[in-house]
Each structure stands twice: as structure tokens, then as C-alpha cells.
Amino acid sequence: MDSPPPVLTIGYGSRTLDEFVDLLHAVGATDLADVRSAPYSRYKPEFSREPLGAHLAEAGIRYIFMGDALGGRPDDPGCYDASGHVDYERCRLRPEFARALEALEAGRESGLRIVLMCSEQRPEECHRSKLVAEELPGSVRR
């Protein structure tokens, strides 16, 4: 039996929307999980939730917002330390975080090619690697 595909990560950074979609097609992405806490961009409005979702639908890729559970700046005040900095260990303890990881893993196990997206182009500087991918089996950071 073939092993399930890895979960990939991508940041749009300085890419154009067309370059971004081309990269998704190149890896055979079926689903894009947006893990930004606030899925909007003032500088690149085409990457805001609604226009991005519409563009991806036209490209045959499903858009899923998961930033409420997997975002790096959660609304939950319990995820922050006394000085106001986000504490990823506290984020990992949230039930919604665990449920979102379970949903990603179920999708991966069913054969979906899922890509986690944030704005940061460098994965080593982004919560999608530091927070999410560290907890998700079968993830690959790009």
C-alpha cells in the first residue's frame, strides 16, 4: 500500500498569485489550508480570503480556512504569556488545535494533497513550521 502524501507548506511572500497557483499545481495540491489568523492582506489583496478562495476554485484547488484553530495569533488570551507574546505550547493545548490537526491528518490519510499556507515565504520563520508542522505527521516544509 502506498503511504499517504505529505502535508506541504507554502508562503506567498513576494510571489504573484499566478506563481503561487503554479507552485500548487506543480505539487499536485488538492486543498489549500490557510493557517493565517487573519486571512487578509493589505499589501497583496489578491491573497485575502475571498479573492484567494475564488481564484483557487477556478484553478481546481479547494480553499479551507483553518487560521481560527491553527493561526499563529489566536483570539484566545490564554495563548499569550504575561508580556503579551504568543506561547505556542499553550496554543498546542487548545482542543480546536487538536481537532484541526486530526482533520488535516484524516485528509492526508484519504489521499488529499494538502498544502498549509501563510504569508511568510521562509518556513523556518513561520508558525506553520514552528507550531503546526512540528505536530503534524507527514509534513514537509517548503
pLDDT score recorded for residue 136: 78
For residue 141, name the pLDDT band (cuts at 50, 70, 90). very low
Could you report the per-residue pLDDT of 34-87, keeping only the tens digit for each?
A: 999 999 999 999 999 999 999 999 999 999 999 999 999 999 999 999 999 999
**pTM of this structure:** 0.90
**Grid coordinates standing for 72?**
499563529
How far lies 76's CA from each of 13, 68, 81, 97, in Å?
26, 10, 11, 12
d(CA 59, CA 52): 10
d(CA 80, CA 133): 20
Compare 116 and 134 and report the one with higher pLDDT.
116
7-135: in CATH 1.10.10: no
d(CA 5, CA 73): 28
Compare 1 and 134 and report the one with higher pLDDT.
134
Could you report the per-residue pLDDT of 92-132, keeping only the tens digit for each?
A: 999 999 999 999 999 999 999 999 999 888 777 788 888 88
Q: Taking the mean position of all CA atoms in its chain, how far away is CA 18?
A: 18
Coil, strand or helix: which one is 82?
coil
pLDDT score recorded for residue 137: 67
Coil, strand or helix: which one is 5?
coil
